[in-house]
Amino acid sequence: MAFTIAIAGRPNVGKSTLFNRLTKTRHAIVSDEPGVTRDRRDGEATLASMKFRLIDTAGLEKAKAGSLQDRMRQQSQVAIEMADISLMVIDARSGILPDDAYFASQLRRSGAPVILVANKCEGKKGAEALAEAWQLGLGAPIPISAEHGEGLIDLYDSILALATDLGRNDELFDDEEELQEPIIFGEGSFSEDDEATPDIWEEDAEPEAPVRIAVVGRPNMGKSTLVNTLLGEGRLLTGPEAGITRDSIMVPFSFNNKPYEIVDTAGIRRSARISEKVEKLMVNDAQRAIQFAKVCILMLDARQPPHKQDMTIARHIADEGRALIIAANMWDDVKDKSVSIKQINDRLQTSLAQLRGVPVVPISGLYGTGLERLFQSVQMIKSIWQLRISTGRLNRWLEVMLEAHPPPLVQGRRLRIRYMTQIKSRPPTFALFVSRPADLPESYLRYLIGGLRDEFGLTGIPVRMVMRKGKNPYA
């Protein structure tokens, strides 16, 4: 297991900003509102030549047993127990608060090495807080600015010293010896809007890479429960409260010996109901997860008819060109199962005709029923999504379609469709060479796309067709 460092501290001290800085990403949502982070988030961090696994946590607040805050605390506790070193972050501008003292006592009890990090150390107030921080009993505080990248050389030295004491400093470097290149820190300020490498979301370079799945839906549809069941652990916060998940959390796992990366996302409500800045960031994060997934599992509550917002999310998935599966969740609680399936299929037929044949899989995320069929559907829909059809087969099919239903006359002149070729997959996209592309009716385009779906089994995925003017380029 890689050398692991956990970031801990009370809300709003800059833990997620530090996480984003060290992982060179924008994966953790950052806001002035306290308590934005809820689930623990993993990433690969780089500090000069040093590399390690980094975990961002929600915090260690005192909370009523069983409450959402208590479950958040348990997630943070797991992260600290997994870590080789913990970074206890305080806000130097605010000074030492009672929660800081409580967190420090919790970390001291853990017995693991702790580095005290005084964030936001810019200015006179920051300097004053450093002297006050000694009372936490965690040794000398390391003054930094996570936003501007200042003080990271001191953090580097502290991590290296503790790793050396543990006899594990070699694990922080690619080579046996630490690289002897100059270490440069703090060049320029870091903004959450800056370009960063979104490594979770990048398209796969290797064809054998894991299938990336985004689990999406309205709030409280059981998305995190499904992911926890798949992982066999309480990796993500769950509960009766709507909107628990905020960040999109990606976790690698395997099912039937096949590799996957599953992304749990925040619930997506109607735009008109989204007013808070944090919720807008959450929805943007979920939409970004859709954009970089291969397959999207849309979670519905099978106990009730599909909601208008469910169809809005499904259309967004289609617009992004992703493969879609409907997971009819809470199936164990459905009394009339035939009525429930009919309601879902009828709604899909009327509201999502452009994705004819979307697989609908009844599941129970809580009890794990239906998951075998769900992942059979994932493999099937992924294969269809990345299908390539030879130009010869396409044009033989096109001849039959044109003979059965010739293009219409427009202003007394018949349109000529000369040729078709597939220009990309993921999703399948075709170029149609037409004498006058602007005059081809939308209804005829639908006729051709419907024929493509029927002939080549392109069900449950977006099919795109672009029209180009000209003759057969290969004639």
Q: Is the pLDDT of residue 410 over 50?
A: yes
Q: What integer pLDDT is reported at residue 409 of this predicted model?
A: 85
pLDDT greater than 50 at residue 246: no
* DSSP string over 216-228: E-STTSSHHHHHH
Q: What is the pLDDT of residue 30?
A: 41
E strand spans, 67-183? 85-91, 114-119, 142-143
Average pLDDT over residues 327-332: 96
Tell me the pLDDT tens digit for each residue of 149-199: 888 988 999 999 899 988 888 899 875 444 444 444 444 444 444 434 344
Question: Average pLDDT in the 261-271 region?
Answer: 74
What is the token pair recorded at 207? 């064809």
* Banded model confidence at residue 278, pLDDT cuts 50, 70, 90: very low
- In the chain, the amino acid numbered 352 is L
Domains of the chain (ranges plus CATH)?
4-172 (3.40.50.300), 211-385 (3.40.50.300), 391-469 (3.30.300.20)
Q: 25-79: per-residue pLDDT in tens?
A: 765 444 444 444 445 678 889 998 889 999 888 755 555 655 545 556 666 677 7
- The answer to whether the bond into 98 is cis (omega within 30° of 0) is no
Q: Can you name the residues that pair with 89 across neighbouring β-strands?
A: 117
| Cα-Cα-Cα-Cα dihedral sign, residues 251, 257, 258, 259 | positive
Q: What is the pLDDT of residue 66?
A: 52
Q: Which residue has the higher pLDDT, 355 or 144?
A: 144
Q: How far apart are CA 186 and CA 149, in angstroms?
A: 4
Q: What does the pLDDT read at residue 317?
A: 93
CA 430, 434, 438, 440 torsion-angle sign? negative
Range name among 16-20, 188-192, 334-338 with the lowest pLDDT average: 188-192
Burial of residue 387, with CB atoms counted within 10 A of its CB: 0-12 exposed, 13-18 middle, 19 or more buried? middle
Average pLDDT rounded to a whole number, residues 400-425: 90
- pLDDT at residue 451 is higher than 90: yes
Detail the DSSP E strand segments found in 14-82: 41-47, 50-56
Please tell me the predicted confidence (pLDDT) of residue 302. Answer: 96
pLDDT over 90 at 471, yes or no? no
Q: Higher model confidence: residue 129 or residue 270?
A: 129
3-state secondary structure of 316: helix
What is the reported pLDDT for 227? 87
Residue pointed to by tokens 């833990």: 15
183/149 Cα distance (integer angstroms): 13
- Spatial contact of 420 and 344, defined as CB atoms under 8 Å apart: no
CB 93 within 8 A of CB 118: no
Q: Which residue has the higher pLDDT, 289 or 466?
A: 466
pLDDT of residue 250: 77
Decide which of 12 and 331 is more confident.
331
